[in-house]
Structure 1
Amino acid sequence: MADALVAEFLTHLEKERDVSPHTVTAYARDLDELASVLARHLGVERVDWATVDRLALRAWLAHLSRRGLSKRSSARALSAARSFFRWLHRNDLVEANPARAVSSPKLEKHLPGHLDRAQVETLLQAAATRAQEGRFNDVRDLAILELFYSTGLRLSELRGIDRRDLDLLAGSVKVRGKGRKERIVPVGGPAQRALREYERLRDQLIAQVGPKADRVAFFLSSRGKRMSQKTLHNAVTAALGEVDEGAGLSAHALRHTFATHLLDGGADLRAVQELLGHASVSTTQIYTHTSVERLKQVYRGAHPRA
């Protein structure tokens, strides 16, 4: 049986805070396990949240570690607990937030995988060659790849684009990011051309499918429905696999590539932050490390005393 306070908190996130459905689902999963583990730890049938202290929360984190959960996933779960107890405290349901006294697992910093400029050219040229045959999926996938590299969108953001969000005359797209925050991102010339060609075939597909077609969504499956996350991800990773087979690059690699190439070209960090939709510039700074690594490689290869 679900915990009533957890359910009320999740409703608060969804209705009042306008948190994304993905985040609400993740928090629900984390808090459900928290309630279950704490009930066993405290020897009770149902947790009284007012009795939970930092030692109980540390026992929960230890359980997550034994279960093999990554440090990043454990940190996310602790973030869910902190938000929940903060809400409980603000509503006078607990005297203090015990999660504030629990340290987050120290995360290892990994430089994000990305493509160099030659690889990007190979990727887009291969996609353009396939699209010349005029098949719907190939023309659509070229538009997706061009838009990904041109804008650095998240996969979920690109999937959520509606036709009305694109202004190909102005060369921009309106994006709904995390927390449903909107931002306007420029769209480059090659991406605009690919999008116009895809839109022509999209209109033909909608006419063929008829009333059952999704006229709102921009990127459609061959059946006329908004592309699923899985189909979109598979299309991008398949194309990336042809460029760098065995590297295991995901669709997110194009977002990393977008940011890295902007910073390599001298773009301002704050501007890149806005384009990516990052809430904090510290999140964007990971890409400066990637750029520095590239500069180090150039230095070691060119300087006589490197």
Structure 2
Amino acid sequence: VHKHRDGQWRLRIVLRPGLRLSWAFDLRKDAQEHEGTLRAIRQAKRHDLMDFIADNRDKLGVLHEKIREIGVARLRVADLLPPPEGITIGELADEFLSYIERTTAKSRYQSSFSPSTVSKYRRNLNRFLEWLPLKRATLAHEINESTLRAFHEYLVAQGSASRRISPIGADRAVTPIQTLFTWASDAGRRSKGAVDGLRPLRFTKSKNPYGDVKSLTTEELDAIRPHCSAEVWAIVTTTAELGLRISETLFLRVSDVDLEAGFVSVRPHQDRRLKSASSVRDLPVSKTLKPVLKAAVAAAGTREHLWSDEWRAKGPSESADAWRAGYHRLGTQWENACKKAGVKGTLHSLRHTFGARLADAGVPPRDIASMLGHSSVSTTERYWRTRFDRDRKLAVLRILEQSEGAPTVPPLRAKKGGRSTMPTQPEKRGAPRTAQRKAS
């Protein structure tokens, strides 16, 4: 800082060789305060802020005030930029819903959105917009992770009295909002480009009350069986013996069952597509399942599907999402049977039961992934990890049972200086050091 002329003080800074900036101030005190700001930036090695000053020398006052409010360590360059053009969450949601309705729309998994997914997203987004204080007029930039958490808590609290929404169900209601913000911040997917200032929102999902992998034992299945009808138990047995997803089980066709070869084919259906390309697979039929499938094929007669239409359709037509009505009817019967038997589990627990049995039998994770139709082995490793941890604990228990008492700890040998070391093996005289290492 130096005096330029009467009544004017000048602040100069050399950012890099060949780049010198200067500012004029009426008061020496103001010039010295801004000089302290620049020295703090240089001392903190905030090169991003230095580059910002080089490109926007007229923003020195804004930078100075922001550092006084926030601090040089927490300040971001985005805080110095003018606020982005306001876009309401209602406008953004309408644009997003019109996008996912197109056949060319792709999710982050590079798959198109099914009609059932579109209707679910529309329903949950409208519920979220109605919950906001300003509803559709709320600015999208004002929504953050805290907003999602508050909405999640609202669903769980209100659902206990009206719709009985569990924490897991509230997670599914929050997912469309996360997808909306991920799409809005992706310049490649949004036709108008990414919205400035928007970023994907992170949300920690609730813990599964049944644990990471909930599998049912033989005793639990035997307790549930008396409370299920004949066809429901046939569906349950087929799901548990083949490790199918419940949607794959409900859409099995008679032509998919080949009892002579002993295999069941899982193929995409015109009304229900599979989850991924790895879901297409052929599964062997066990001795327990063979009579169940034989009776189901005989009961189907000339019908295309293996099970009756009540488990898939809602009314005369079978739309892409009509199978959910039958799925909910099946889930209600299964839930009532589990309550009467005193067992905790879901329909998806039957698929976990199949994976857990394979892991207990020592089947490698890659083979389990092929049977379950997982596209990644990392998804299957949770079955193997559960079994591996259990085996390690059993092995430790056997070691403790075989030992008569507490394990004997070798005594420590005193060393000069007060330290102690573990006793070493006596050196073999006449043997070279290499031979001693090999012997040890």
Provide closer, same or farther for how the CA distance between residues 240 and 299 of structure 1 changes in structure 2, counting only shifts above 3 A. Answer: farther
Map 1:2-13; keep pairs closer than 5 Å: 4-12=94-102
Matched residue of 1:285: which SS?
helix
Question: How far does residue 188 in structure 1 lie from its aligned partner after superposition?
Answer: 2.0
Cα pair 1:82 1:100 within 8 Å, conserved: yes
C-alpha separation in 1, matches of 2:121 and 2:328: 22
Q: Does 1:19 align with 2:120?
A: no
Provide closer, same or farther for how the CA distance between residues 73 and 99 of structure 1 changes in structure 2, counting only shifts above 3 A. Answer: farther
C-alpha separation in 2, matches of 1:78 and 1:247: 34
Map 1:177-196; keep pairs closer than 5 Å: 177-178=274-275, 182-189=279-286, 190-196=288-294
Q: Does 1:219 align with 2:307?
A: yes
Question: How far does residue 100 in structure 1 lie from its aligned partner after superposition?
Answer: 4.0
- List gaps (5 residues or longer) in structure 1: 132-136, 207-214
- Percent sequence identity is 18
C-alpha separation in 2, matches of 1:147 and 1:268: 23
Question: How far does residue 196 in structure 1 lie from its aligned partner after superposition?
Answer: 1.0
Question: How far does residue 236 in structure 1 lie from its aligned partner after superposition?
Answer: 4.1
1:102 aligns to what? 201
Provide closer, same or farther for how the CA distance between residues 217 and 84 of structure 1 changes in structure 2, counting only shifts above 3 A. Answer: farther
- List gaps (5 residues or longer) in structure 2: 1-89, 157-166, 269-273, 315-322, 404-440
The worse-fitting range, judged by mean Cα deviation, of 156-165 and 73-82 is: 73-82
1:273 aligns to what? 369
C-alpha separation in 2, matches of 1:74 and 1:221: 29
Matched residue of 1:153: which SS?
coil
- Residue by residue over 1:260-291, the C-alpha shift from the partner in whole angstroms, topping out at 9 and shown as x without a partner, is 11111122212322332334433333323432
C-alpha separation in 1, matches of 2:297 and 2:150: 51
Map 1:54-69; keep pairs closer than 5 Å: 55-69=142-156
Provide closer, same or farther for how the CA distance between residues 247 and 13 of structure 1 changes in structure 2, counting only shifts above 3 A. Answer: farther
Cα pair 2:103 2:112 within 8 Å, conserved: yes
2:75 aligns to what? none
C-alpha separation in 1, matches of 2:112 and 2:385: 33
2:180 aligns to what? 81
Question: How far does residue 161 in structure 1 lie from its aligned partner after superposition?
Answer: 1.9
Provide closer, same or farther for how the CA distance between residues 75 and 222 of structure 1 changes in structure 2, counting only shifts above 3 A. Answer: closer
Cα pair 1:82 1:99 within 8 Å, conserved: yes
RMSD of aligned alpha carbons: 4.0
C-alpha separation in 2, matches of 1:30 and 1:148: 30
Please state which structure has a larger fraction of its residues in helix: 1
Matched residue of 2:96: which SS?
helix
Cα pair 2:215 2:353 within 8 Å, conserved: yes
Aligned residues: 277
C-alpha separation in 2, matches of 1:98 and 1:288: 42
Question: How far does residue 174 in structure 1 lie from its aligned partner after superposition?
Answer: 1.2
Q: 2:140 aligns with which of 36, 52, 70?
A: 52
TM-score by length of 2: 0.52
Question: How far does residue 299 in structure 1 lie from its aligned partner after superposition?
Answer: 4.0
Question: How far does residue 258 in structure 1 lie from its aligned partner after superposition?
Answer: 0.6
Cα pair 1:30 1:80 within 8 Å, conserved: no
1:90 aligns to what? 189
Provide closer, same or farther for how the CA distance between residues 280 and 146 of structure 1 changes in structure 2, counting only shifts above 3 A. Answer: same
Question: How far does residue 169 in structure 1 lie from its aligned partner after superposition?
Answer: 3.0
1:252 aligns to what? 348
Q: 1:28 aligns with which of 122, 130, 145?
A: 122
Larger C-alpha radius of gyration, 1 or 2? 2
1:212 aligns to what? none
Q: Does 1:156 align with 2:243?
A: no
Cα pair 1:31 1:81 within 8 Å, conserved: no
- The residue identity in structure 1 corresponding to 2:377 is V
C-alpha separation in 1, matches of 2:196 and 2:370: 32
Cα pair 2:365 2:381 within 8 Å, conserved: yes
Question: How far does residue 300 in structure 1 lie from its aligned partner after superposition?
Answer: 6.1
Q: RCO greater where, 1 or 2, for CA within 8 Å and sep 6 or more?
A: 1
Map 1:283-298; keep pairs closer than 5 Å: 283-295=379-391, 298=394
Q: 2:266 aligns with which of 174, 195, 198?
A: 174
Provide closer, same or farther for how the CA distance between residues 235 and 303 of structure 1 changes in structure 2, counting only shifts above 3 A. Answer: farther
C-alpha separation in 2, matches of 1:21 and 1:224: 16
1:210 aligns to what? none
C-alpha separation in 1, matches of 2:197 and 2:248: 35
- The residue identity in structure 2 corresponding to 1:61 is L
1:134 aligns to what? none
C-alpha separation in 2, matches of 1:181 and 1:99: 34
Cα pair 1:14 1:24 within 8 Å, conserved: no
- Residue by residue over 1:14-66, the C-alpha shift from the partner in whole angstroms, topping out at 9 and shown as x without a partner, is 9774434443333223333454556827xxx556xxx733x423353143134
2:31 aligns to what? none
2:417 aligns to what? none
C-alpha separation in 1, matches of 2:371 and 2:389: 22
